[in-house]
Chain A
Amino acid sequence: MREQIEIIVAEDNVVQRAYMCRLIENVGFDFFKVLEAEDGAVALELLKTSRAEILITDYQMPRLNGVELTRAVRSLDLGRYIHIILITGTETGDYGVRADALDAGADDFLNKQDDPTGLKARLTTAMRLIDHGKELEEQHRVLKEANDRINEDLAAAAHAQRNLLPDINTDILGAHIASAFVPSSVVSGDMFGCFPLNDSQIGFYAVDVSGHGIRASLLSVAIGYLITPEFFVKSVLDEDGIPRPARLVRELNARFCTDVHDDYFTMFCGVMDTQRIKVFYCQAGYPSPYYVDAQGNVTRIGSGGFPVGMFGDADYEDGVIGVDLDGMLLCCSDGAFEAENDEGIPFGEPRMEKIVKEIYRDPADKVPEKIIKALADWRGRKPLEDDLTVVAVKRNMK
């Protein structure tokens, strides 16, 4: 059996009110519970204290008339919809009143002279609308519950992803490494790592999976788990301990190439060798990092390279540069260059180079946050469209 719907009947004439109540009970005594109000003000109070969902009100009443009552009900925040039926004279006779009532928020009208079938038809309509409203409410509740659960899962995934990343600030073998990691949604398709390979070499990599969001993050996290320091040492260092980062990239390319989907990733990986005072690197479609020497001269490292997982027969090259004691290596994912301002103009390389020149003397731990800040200022209110990673490596200790 369905729950009873409470109906308020607002009517100052006692006889009329009793008559209306009887009519409603005749329509369906089981469906409705009738609450009586002798004027508009009483009806308004009753609405606040009851669970009434239908209001049948006379137009002419002392204190609040039917239209004023309607307006007052619509300004209340009851958390449920009140279906309002106004009793007036005929449509033609009370045209002005009906127009005012519609404006105030009335749903339906009943002629004073109507027979009981008119009332029954209107109550049926009201119940149909109320049922529909409840169905929507239930659907909304179910969707919200599902949405909350997804968001909780995502937050947990984001937390797990962050735990894979190195500390934001860390010293390895006399080099200072600082980073910033800003996902465009909760989880990110970016990934990076940095670790000592032995007592004189530091391995590092940055990865940017195509696309962004959950799908990209699945692959980025898989890569994060795969590239352990042991994996890095085994695939990068040759028999003489000389770093060959292209070997690692080739290995990843063989592993991730498939015709099943179009996912791929760009990558920059390298080894900072503190004895040879060099950085050995391999670039695989990742934006060329900046190298700033002790005098502040800025160069871009690498001329390009195939992304990983796109073409099975792609080959990769090793590169090498010397690094000054105070030199800084700076990797930014393409999300940095592509960040657009309100007018749709990307931040671009010239602006990035200008900032790099301004901040290269700062300690490494200040560099990523300053770049993030400059990009935030540039974007204004525009949200980040792609994941953003900035990693600064500075050799500033002997």
Chain B
Amino acid sequence: MIHSTQTDDGIIIVRPGVQRLTAVNSKAFKDEIVALIDAGNSEFVIDFTSTTFLDSSGLGALAGVLKKIGHRGDLAVCGLGPDVMQMFTICRMDRVFSIYPDEAAALRALSEKS
């Protein structure tokens, strides 16, 4: 379900490919990213520009991805709409995820880190 592309620096850009990340599809979302991590990738940008709604299961899957990457790599999220951003705020996810306005800003930040 996810669309992923890789930059020249080896950073994986993931677009969830769904408007709503919910109990229906969050397991597939996580499994597919975990497969990319298991294949040796460690730097990810997840772009939520086209995903306007995350339910509690969607957030759980995203947190699961973050824990899976852990200290071995980096995860940035970008393109959070107002509803998703509000959920991030109320759950303090803004303190655990690196959040950027768009892909370009997220890629720049990851490249500077490494």
Contact = CB atoms under 8 A, between A and B. Distances in A.
B91 interface: yes
Contacts of B60: 210-211, 262-264, 310
A261 to B, nearest CB: 8
Interface string B96-107: 100000000000
Number of chain B interface residues as a range: 10 to 19
Given A262-B30, A311-B96, A210 B91 contact: no
A346 B63 CA distance: 24
Q: Chain A binding site: helix, strand, loop or mixed by DSSP?
A: loop
B23 interface: yes
A6 B96 CA distance: 73
A394 interface: no
Contacts, number: 54
Most chain B CB neighbours (cut-off 10 Å) among A306, A310, A311, A385: A310
A338 B90 contact: no
Interface of B: 23, 30, 55-57, 59-61, 63-64, 67, 83, 89-92, 96
Given A211-B56, A211-B57, A266 B91 contact: yes
Contacts of B23: 211-213
A304 B89 contact: yes
A386 B60 CA distance: 15
Given A304-B89, A305-B92, A338 B55 contact: yes
3 tightest CB-CB pairs across the interface, nearest first? A210-B56, A262-B60, A262-B64
B30 A306 contact: no
Interface string A65-102: 00000000000000000000000000000000000000
Given A210-B57, A311-B96, A285 B90 contact: yes
B56 A334 contact: yes
A354 B12 CA distance: 44
